[in-house]
Structures are given as C-alpha cells and as structure tokens.
Amino acid sequence: MSQFDTGYYGGNGGAGGGGYLQSPFSASGSPSGGRQRTEIQESLRSLTIAQLNKASQLHSEADWKVDDMEIGQVTVVAHVVSMQTQTTNTVYVLEDGTGQIEARHWIDEGTGSRLGDIKENRYIRVVGLLKVFGKKRYINVSLVRGVEDPHEIYFHMLDAISTTLTVERGQTSMTSPSKAALASPGMSAYSATNSVHQDQLAHFQGLNRMIMQFILEQPPTDEGIHVAAIAKAIGPSGYDPKKISDALDELMDQGHVFTTIDDSHFNPSM
C-alpha cells in the first residue's frame, strides 16, 4: 500500500495545531533554559537527520553547530518508524532517508495527550531543540503535527539543501540584489529588491503569499512585524483573524517566519 494513501492524507491533528504558536519559541524552550534569548536561539532551520547526527557541540552548555554555523530551533520532516507513549511524554523514532534520530515530546501538565492522527508509518513534522542525554542525542519537541501533503516532504529536503548551500557559499544574485541590478538605468533599489521578493515568493500561494509579501516589504527590524499590523494589512482582502492565525502557524511550521521579542512579532527566515 502506498505511503500516500488516505491514511497519509489524514487531518492535521498533531499537537500544537491552531492559534498562534507559543511553545516553539518561548524563553523556557531555549537551549540554556533561563538565560536571555538570543538571535540564534530564536532562529528556525530546516535540517536532515544526518545533519543533526553530525552536529557538533564544544561543551554541554554550548550552542550546537552544523557546518560551523550555530543552530537554535530545528525542524525535521520524517517517517515515524515507531512511537512509545508514556504518561509524561511520547518518544518517536524518526527516519528521513538520511538517518534515524529520536524525538521526545513532553505532554503539558493538565492538557493530556494531543497526538491526534499521528501514528507509526506516517510522516510528521517536528520542531524543537537538539539535546543529548547519556551520550544519545534527540530532538526535544515543542511542536509536532502530521504531514498531509507529500510535497511538504520534498519541499523540506530542498529547503534544507538550499539553506546549507547558502551557509556554505553565501547568498547568490537570486537571493539578494546585485550591484549591477541596482546600477541599471531606471531600476531603483526598491524595484530591484521587490524583484528579489517576487523570486522568493514564487512557491507561495494565496494567503501565505500575501503575508510573506507584506512582511518582506517592511523595513527590517530586530523586533519584527506585529501580528496586528499583518492583520490590518491583509484583513481588507477578505481574510478573518483566524485564517491569518492559521496561515502564520503554517508558515512558522515550515520555517519561513519566526517570532522575535514575543509570540506576536514575526520576522522572515529568508
């Protein structure tokens, strides 16, 4: 039976679905617990399991590094080889074709299990922090949900590859305005940047595209764009706050945006 049967396309029932995400980027979820959040700890990077298994750490309190680049939050799309549900947590053994790793999702006190339709032999997306215990590394999960569309699997792998190449080689002319473009007659810095934005938005559709376009068009700041500003700009197009909230959830799940000073301010990851 194909892995993309009706069971694979089941509902989006994973833990953490709906509303604005809070746990993936809360201060308590940072690698050092109580210390002040940093830009690295707030970042979200798509990685393969092989990259996580090769990640290095200078000491137990240091940030993890992949290809000599510090990482904070990580996201993986993988096949659930097995899962073990206990009173306080659920442990997944994940496989993505490049390797295996465990992911541990702690159940919030008072909320109970929220596994939804997550089962063995399904693909899921997890977001969390890379941890190690007893010389065995695992993902400390803050968000887990089922993958409904097989294209998300392919997109994740391509996103991981693209990010790694950007880290290794730097941004290309496809991701930043070239000097030649800015110097071209009749082309302002704004129009060149806007052209780059259109390239970045090529694979987005509908509401997600509108949100990303609005965020990318704002002047870059450390604080990010408040959700109220996003809703004010997008709302007149006929989208209610709930749909905008769900779209931001999805964009954050996929690693396109991340929260900054609090759970209501967003910056683009691209």
H or E element that contains 137: strand 136-146
Q: Write out pLDDT tens, residues 118-131.
A: 889 999 999 999 99
* Whole-angstrom distance, CA of residue 66 vs CA of residue 188: 37
Q: Which two tokens stand for residue 150?
A: 């097989």
Distances (CA, A) of 151 to 76, 182, 183, 187, 254: 14, 35, 38, 36, 12
Please report whether residue 22 resides in a domain.
Answer: no
Please report whether residue 77 resides in a domain.
Answer: yes
Please report whether residue 254 resides in a domain.
Answer: yes
Residue 252 has pLDDT above 50, yes or no: yes
Do both 89 and 163 map to the same domain? yes
Q: Which two tokens stand for residue 96?
A: 């993505």
Any idea what the CATH number is for the domain that residue 255 is in? 1.10.10.10
Total number of domains constituting the chain: 2
Please report whether residue 30 resides in a domain.
Answer: no
Residue 89 has pLDDT above 50, yes or no: yes
> Rounded mean pLDDT of the chain?
75
Average pLDDT over residues 242-257: 86
Q: Are 8 and 123 spatial neighbours (Cβ–Cβ below 8 Å)?
A: yes
Do both 48 and 110 map to the same domain? yes
Do both 116 and 44 map to the same domain? yes
Q: Are 135 and 141 spatial neighbours (Cβ–Cβ below 8 Å)?
A: no
Do both 161 and 201 map to the same domain? no
Do both 216 and 162 map to the same domain? no
Q: How confident is the model at residue 115 (pLDDT cuts 50, 70, 90)?
A: low
Residues 6+ apart with CB under 8 A from 151: none
Domain holding 154, by residue range, is 39-169
User: Which position has the higher pLDDT, 3 or 254?
Assistant: 254
Do both 143 and 70 map to the same domain? yes
Any idea what the CATH number is for the domain that residue 114 is in? 2.40.50.140
Computed over its alpha carbons, how large is the radius of gyration of the chain? 19
